[in-house]
Amino acid sequence: MWMSVLIVVVVVVMFTAEAIPLLKKGNIKEFRVFSVLLLFGTSLSIALSLKVAIPSPIDWIEFIYKPLTDWLQTTLK
């Protein structure tokens, strides 16, 4: 729980240090991208600190290519 609080504190510091100057310079697109990426990273970090099981992208790749691999193995035998 304390790790989640620490993550939020760090994110607030990062947001004030990076996002506020982006808005002052008028970089709206960069601000939006920064905010979305920061929110995504914060969500993943909090989930990991709470020990939530997050699937690896390799699982998705394996799911997609497994039938092709099986077919090739049976064909080439």
**Predicted pLDDT at 77:** 82
**Mean pLDDT for each consecutive 10-residue tract of the chain (77 residues)?**
92 94 93 96 94 89 92 90
Helix (H) or strand (E) holding 3: helix 2-25
Q: Which residues of 36-61 are buried (b: 16+ CB within 10 A; e: fewer)?
A: eeeeeebeebbeeeeeeeeeeeeeee
**Predicted pLDDT at 55:** 85
Provide the residue count of the chain. 77
**Predicted pLDDT at 1:** 81
Residue 37 lies in domain = 2-76
Total domains, the chain? 1
**Predicted pLDDT at 28:** 94
**Predicted pLDDT at 42:** 96
